[in-house]
Structure 1
Amino acid sequence: MSNVNVKRLVENIRSGTNIYTPLVELVVNAIQAIDAKGIQNGLVEIEVLRNGQADMVDRLEDVDGFRVKDNGIGFTKTNRDAFDTLYTEQKIADGGKGFGRFTCLKYFDRVKVSSTFAEGDAFHDRSFRMGLDKDIIVDEKEGPSQAQAAGATIEISGIKSVRFPDKKLETIGRVVVERLLPYFVDQDRSCPRVVIWEAKNPSDTLSLNDYLGKENSQIVEIKVDEGTFSLSANKDEKSFQVRVFKFFAPRMAKSKVSLVAHRREVTDNPLQTYIPEFGEEFFELGPDQDLAKGRNFVIKAYVFGDYLNDNVSLERGEFRFQTDTDLLNGISQTDIEQKAADIAQSAVGTEIAERKRRKEVRIAEYVTNDAPWHRVLATEVDFSALPMRPSNQDIELHLQKKKYEQEIATRTQVTALLNSKNPDELGEKIAQLIQKISDNSKNDLIHYVSMRKCVLELFSKSLEIKADGKHQSEGEVHDIIMPRKKDSEELNYEAHNLWILDERLNFTSYMSSDKPLKSSGDRTDITIYNRRVAYRGDNEASNPITIFEFKKPQRDDFANPSSKEDPIQQIIRYVNQIREGKFKTPTGRDILVNDTTPFYGYVVCDLTQKVKDWLQKEKNFTPMPDGLGWFNWFGNISLYMEVVSWTKLLRDAEMRNKIFFNKLGID
């Protein structure tokens, strides 16, 4: 009689197990019972128990449990007593932990055992249930048997809260084969025949051994040239063996690397974690290179070794060493899986190499067409960690990360060099650092100029007439040049495109957009089409102040005699108000001017014939030689004013930048 708190023990089973763990445990125990009997005709039978209503789609009921039967040694007194002992050492030579049976109770309500065993020349029957309180074995019965062969049947049923993830017999069988593949391919010990069938339809039997070793088998081993590797564990070399298999008809599965302990799969992780080109399944042509008879497959690399056997957890769901860096044991799971991934790559090297080539072409196209500023950086960056089919965002984020890392490294080197007290090392190192800084600066310049071209294309598009015969809304075009209701104290100098108007705007100390320069009154700054932009360099009285007034394309009603939106008079009035000291910035700063402070005024509009007549006959403006603008000088207030067309504004901006576009090959 045992004295174990079974319920608490089951509740404390750690993560790493899953709903398949009990079934795998029972099949392994059945194989071990057959090995102990030493017979050549070993047979393990798995019956699938179902319950509930059949599904309307696949017409299958949910899985409720399993019945696993073997023709092994049976539950002799020794085996019975081991079952009744927590952490029994009976199967320790075969990696037994004396604990696996308790995982059955984690996922199923009932565990029933019935067995026939030999005692001398006679056979006996033994049956019992697995207890849920203090005793591991309950309701035990034993007596003489009429049977003439030993064996055991263990039934687990009453699946708990979770649903079994698979329904089809073929799917369940394949998962079991994958988990126990080391048993099926063991070269030293032959695996008994393992079959699976429906308890309600015993005639429909599937042999799990047939997944391997036959024509058109679903699992085929790939021979590798070098299937072993070693890793150092605290100065002690540990050896590992890798066997690589093709799994055909992969059911949306991914290629994986599996770590094995005592012939059981413990963990499996995607190979694409280490080599992204494993992210998609592979394809093998049929006989005579027949495409129609070809099959899809994934790769699975199984890793064996004493280090894994010695460090598997009690529940066999994980290992005692760390997933990443392991300072205590010296070898981590990542170390092992990375080595195994390299070997798996060699097994399908041609296809992996082709996938990498396609990725390189994809990256090169992105850099050439969309991000030429990264040309130099792209030649120095390792892209192997990127997904097999990287998106533009994937590539850009990877390059930005590497660029940042390079900048940090360069700054660190510059700091170290400046603090160096050894003058002999300055010359060569300074030259090297200047080159690095120069390359980074070139990349930034290329990026900046490329973005300018995009902005000009967008700006040109915004000036076109839409399908409805109208121009873009005022707000949309406004925001291309500078976001509304902002000033330079809220915006980074790169967050606007005022260089379209004048390059000097990039270096002004203050500018505002659609914000009043005093707490009340009109907004006298930039609202595209109908308000102003004001800017200057340093806030010194000698520095000029520039004002822009915009009018919507094709609009010319401001030239009407009755119009209250005369842009020329608006600019003149605004200049006078600034001279009189009526305005401050939104932060309360005075706008410093004196009698000689120069002002520049610009009106941007479409020069219709009505506007041209108005400028010549009523405003006394002089036409520019290119015919795309007019100018005048108001000497009494030191104001030079131009009226230019949207076409001229765009054309001049394109001309100023054309040489840069040409040099970059993006014109």
Structure 2
Amino acid sequence: MHVDIAGRVENLSLPITQPYIPVFECIVNSLESIDESARKGGRIDVYFHRDDRQGRLIDSGDDYLGAVRDVTIVDNGGGFSDINAKAFFVSDSTRKAAKGNKGVGRFTWLKVFEKATIESVYNQGDERYRRSFEFRKSEEGVENETLDLCKAGEVKTTVKLLNIRSEYQKHFPKSLDTLAQKIIDHLVIYFLSPGCPEVWIHDDEHEPVNLNEYFRAEADTRATEHKFAVGKHELNAVIVRFDSSLNRRHTVSYCANKREVISWGVGTRVPDFKTRFVDEAGKSFVFKTYVFGQYLDSRVDSSRTQLVLSGEDELELDDELSRPQLDTAVTDVVKNAAAPYMTTLREEKRRNIETLVANKAPQYRFMLSERYGQYIDRISPNVSDDQLDIELYKVQKDIELAHREQARQIDSLPLDGQRNSEAYKHLREQFLREENELGQAALARYVVHRRTILELLDKALETQDDGRYVKEEAVHSIIFPMRASSDDVDFDRQNLWVIDERLAYHWYLGSDLPMSRLKAVNSDENDEPDIVVFNSAKVFAEAKRSFNSAVIVEFKRPERNEYPSTDEDPVEQVIRYARKLRDSKAKTDEGRTIEVAESTPFYAYIVCTLTPRIRDIALNRDFMVTPDGAGYFRFHTQLNCYIEILSYDKMLDDAKKRNRAFFEKLQIPML
């Protein structure tokens, strides 16, 4: 049967992200050739030739290295003798099937490069020969073959992979260090084996690198072997420690027939592996794990880029391994090997969480219980405080979801003897304990929110660099966003409790909106009170509804002393607002009109600096001084309206005093 080489290459699947596969195939061929020849002093040289057409800056570092265009591999193995040449010329040859060879590796050469040239000087019988030919993506594949006697030539084989295809070139590593690591990762078992031939890599820019020495210096003495089983299948994991900063990730490589096939980062499954470990001497490193076994040898595809394993949702047979099964088993092996270093990381992570809880986020204190250790394990170590806060928030949401699911399970139990069982009692006790913890966490989060708001207010009331005070809008926006209503603003952004705790809950609120736009009021007026709050009473009849109270808040710029007209007099302003609101008609949620009862009390707060002008206004209007001397109050009988003038400092100090007990209970720093 004739094989069309061009068609064979075209149908070969090789991802463009793995352009170095042909180089690996050549190196393995060289290693096997040296092994078969039983030659001592075996050596392989790999030359990476850069694309001169792209140019580069002189002494500009590896970032500006030219892209690799050609690769030359030279070895002193047995060479292309008649038997080896015959196997090469036959597609899908089985000559090396016992070693796991698929007989298709050379086709990857033509998948990535335009052509290859081979020249081999070898001994056969008592004679020495030179064989040369080209390997192209053509119907025949092998072209221009020559075979001659060679009296003086050195025994060696040279394979040149020429003119890398552009789609693969952009994914081919440029740095010699990166190439060294790629080759070692792919062939680590060869480098761990005694008597491994010397492998050197070269380029046009740097000194040659001896990969055997590179590997010995980096990891050879730090390799440990771990045998384990998954189902009926025996596997072997070789875990190697790498100190070089080039190795940034802890990885697992699945290998077949001594070669890496696929790899994945352990940090994707175990967050503690997202950072380098540190030993007793303070030296950082990563673990690279290489997994081997006959089962994996039998599951590699022809291009050596994939393992044919069943997926998570596929039917699992007794003799088959799924990828999730394999990943889980290997993860356990790696975690056990890294346990001493993970313990150190987790202790440091716990200290970081404890510090954050003590200083900034007491709402997460309950997570420090051992009961939630599995959740904390999901958090990456060595993250910033801000990122740690985010991760803990995610963990809390996961705990809350699990808690709700537990509640659903409890409610679904039948009303029979099961609800009297010890298991049910234990489940319910655990649920109630978690319910209490989550409730405390929610309260703690809200108290921390309050502390933050008070800190912002404290800062806003300080003088600016130019000696001026902020405008009232700055304070106003902290307490409640301007030009908005309670329908527009989340509860967490409504901080009316700073003025009065009773204002934290209300039926409707409008901020800096003309009265004509207040949803709760029928009015054509365009006066804009800073804040208007309506508190709803209980509904005693289907069609009747009234307000418990209405509240008006007016802010004035800190240190403002000039109020030249009656319209700007803050007391006159709130009285005018109260009168207009009382004369207007209110609406229910459904838009039905109701009257504001004469008995509905109004409360008005004027927040300002107690300047001489404000004090004059208060005294002229018969206001009383508050017991602490930090404000004024008066009751307007006709409007049934209590009016209070209070300073910004009093507003802030009173809010701090009301919340001080909460701060102390949560053990968070006082303001």
Counterpart position of 1:29: 29
- C-alpha separation in 2, matches of 1:33 and 1:392: 56
Secondary structure of the corresponding residue to residue 357 of structure 2: helix
8 Å Cα contact 2:533/2:552 also seen in 1: yes
1:636–1:164: structure 2 CA closer, same or farther, 3 Å change rule? closer
Counterpart position of 1:89: 94
What's the CA shift for 1:29? 0.6
What's the CA shift for 1:498? 0.8
1:345–1:480: structure 2 CA closer, same or farther, 3 Å change rule? same
Q: Choose the corresponding residue for 2:79, options 52, 56, 74.
A: 74
Q: What are the Cα deviations for residues 13-54 of structure 1, in whole angstroms up to 9, with x where unaligned? A: 232862322111111111212223333343323334344146
Counterpart position of 1:535: 534
What's the CA shift for 1:440? 1.2
1:17–1:515: structure 2 CA closer, same or farther, 3 Å change rule? closer
What's the CA shift for 1:141? 2.3
8 Å Cα contact 2:472/2:558 also seen in 1: no
- C-alpha separation in 1, matches of 2:96 and 2:176: 30
1:76–1:612: structure 2 CA closer, same or farther, 3 Å change rule? same
What's the CA shift for 1:167? 5.2
What's the CA shift for 1:238? 1.2
8 Å Cα contact 1:54/1:62 also seen in 2: no
Counterpart position of 1:65: 70
Q: Choose the corresponding residue for 1:596, options 591, 596, 599.
A: 599
What's the CA shift for 1:490? 2.1
1:365–1:14: structure 2 CA closer, same or farther, 3 Å change rule? same
8 Å Cα contact 1:17/1:317 also seen in 2: no
Q: What are the Cα deviations for residues 526-559 of structure 1, in whole angstroms up to 9, with x where unaligned? A: 5xxxx3433323484352212122211111322x
1:181 aligns with 2:163: no
- C-alpha separation in 2, matches of 1:205 and 1:653: 72
One-letter code aligned to 1:140? E
1:354–1:518: structure 2 CA closer, same or farther, 3 Å change rule? same
- C-alpha separation in 2, matches of 1:491 and 1:164: 50
Counterpart position of 1:552: 557
- 1:560-599 alignment to 2 at 5 Å? 560=564, 562-581=565-584, 590=593, 592-599=595-602
- C-alpha separation in 1, matches of 2:176 and 2:428: 70
- C-alpha separation in 2, matches of 1:13 and 1:55: 36
8 Å Cα contact 1:115/1:152 also seen in 2: yes
Secondary structure of the corresponding residue to residue 77 of structure 2: coil
One-letter code aligned to 1:4? D
What's the CA shift for 1:94? 0.6
Q: What are the Cα deviations for residues 223-250 of structure 1, in whole angstroms up to 9, with x where unaligned? A: 54x7111112xxxx11121222233434
Counterpart position of 1:637: 639
- C-alpha separation in 1, matches of 2:322 and 2:32: 30
Secondary structure of the corresponding residue to residue 627 of structure 1: coil
1:302 aligns with 2:302: no
Q: Choose the corresponding residue for 2:475, options 474, 477, 482.
A: 477
8 Å Cα contact 1:42/1:193 also seen in 2: yes
Counterpart position of 2:648: 646
8 Å Cα contact 1:238/1:307 also seen in 2: yes
Which of 249-258 and 650-659 deviates more? 249-258
Which of 348-357 and 102-111 deviates more? 348-357
Q: What are the Cα deviations for residues 186-229 of structure 1, in whole angstroms up to 9, with x where unaligned? A: 25xx323333446899xx6553333355xxx23323254x7111
Q: Choose the corresponding residue for 2:356, options 366, 371, 383.
A: 366
- C-alpha separation in 2, matches of 1:354 and 1:245: 20
1:328–1:137: structure 2 CA closer, same or farther, 3 Å change rule? farther
8 Å Cα contact 1:598/1:638 also seen in 2: yes
What's the CA shift for 1:517? 3.1
Counterpart position of 1:263: 258
8 Å Cα contact 1:386/1:394 also seen in 2: no
Unpaired segments of 5 or more residues in structure 2? 518-522, 539-544
Q: Choose the corresponding residue for 1:405, options 398, 404, 411.
A: 398
1:327–1:474: structure 2 CA closer, same or farther, 3 Å change rule? farther
- C-alpha separation in 1, matches of 2:637 and 2:171: 90
1:565–1:339: structure 2 CA closer, same or farther, 3 Å change rule? same
Q: What are the Cα deviations for residues 337-377 of structure 1, in whole angstroms up to 9, with x where unaligned? A: 55445545555654443233212211221122221011113
1:486–1:221: structure 2 CA closer, same or farther, 3 Å change rule? same
What's the CA shift for 1:171? 5.5
1:55–1:21: structure 2 CA closer, same or farther, 3 Å change rule? farther
One-letter code aligned to 2:351? V
8 Å Cα contact 1:414/1:433 also seen in 2: yes
1:332–1:517: structure 2 CA closer, same or farther, 3 Å change rule? farther
Q: What are the Cα deviations for residues 146-186 of structure 1, in whole angstroms up to 9, with x where unaligned? A: 35775432111222222575556565445423321211222
- 1:175-214 alignment to 2 at 5 Å? 175-186=182-193, 190-197=195-202, 206-213=209-216
Counterpart position of 2:367: 377
1:275–1:640: structure 2 CA closer, same or farther, 3 Å change rule? closer
Q: What are the Cα deviations for residues 313-350 of structure 1, in whole angstroms up to 9, with x where unaligned? A: 22112212267676547534455455445545555654
Which of 121-130 and 411-420 deviates more? 411-420
What's the CA shift for 1:615? 1.6
1:591–1:186: structure 2 CA closer, same or farther, 3 Å change rule? farther
Counterpart position of 1:320: 308
- C-alpha separation in 1, matches of 2:246 and 2:407: 55
One-letter code aligned to 2:573? Q
- C-alpha separation in 1, matches of 2:412 and 2:340: 51
- C-alpha separation in 1, matches of 2:222 and 2:97: 32
- C-alpha separation in 1, matches of 2:268 and 2:636: 71
- C-alpha separation in 2, matches of 1:364 and 1:497: 29
- C-alpha separation in 2, matches of 1:182 and 1:546: 79
- C-alpha separation in 2, matches of 1:200 and 1:443: 60
Unpaired segments of 5 or more residues in structure 1? none
Secondary structure of the corresponding residue to residue 627 of structure 2: coil
- C-alpha separation in 2, matches of 1:51 and 1:510: 72
What's the CA shift for 1:12? 4.4
Counterpart position of 2:541: none
- C-alpha separation in 2, matches of 1:580 and 1:283: 75
1:656 aligns with 2:658: yes
1:160 aligns with 2:165: yes
1:268–1:580: structure 2 CA closer, same or farther, 3 Å change rule? same
1:110–1:360: structure 2 CA closer, same or farther, 3 Å change rule? same
Give the superposed CA RMSD.
Answer: 3.2
- C-alpha separation in 1, matches of 2:348 and 2:34: 51
8 Å Cα contact 1:517/1:586 also seen in 2: no
- C-alpha separation in 2, matches of 1:467 and 1:586: 47
8 Å Cα contact 2:625/2:632 also seen in 1: yes
Q: Percent identity?
A: 29
Would you say how many aligned residue pairs link Structure 1 and Structure 2? 641
Secondary structure of the corresponding residue to residue 494 of structure 1: helix
Q: What are the Cα deviations for residues 587-645 of structure 1, in whole angstroms up to 9, with x where unaligned? A: 956463123222222222222232222221x2122222221222222222222222222
8 Å Cα contact 1:111/1:130 also seen in 2: yes
- 1:107-126 alignment to 2 at 5 Å? 107-126=112-131
Counterpart position of 2:147: 142
1:263–1:418: structure 2 CA closer, same or farther, 3 Å change rule? closer
Q: Choose the corresponding residue for 1:395, options 388, 406, 415.
A: 388
One-letter code aligned to 2:222? I
Counterpart position of 1:353: 343
What's the CA shift for 1:566? 1.9
1:497 aligns with 2:495: yes
- 1:592-631 alignment to 2 at 5 Å? 592-616=595-619, 618-631=620-633
One-letter code aligned to 1:654? K
1:92–1:17: structure 2 CA closer, same or farther, 3 Å change rule? farther
Counterpart position of 2:410: 417
**Scaled by the length of structure 2, what TM-score is found?**
0.86
- C-alpha separation in 2, matches of 1:177 and 1:653: 66
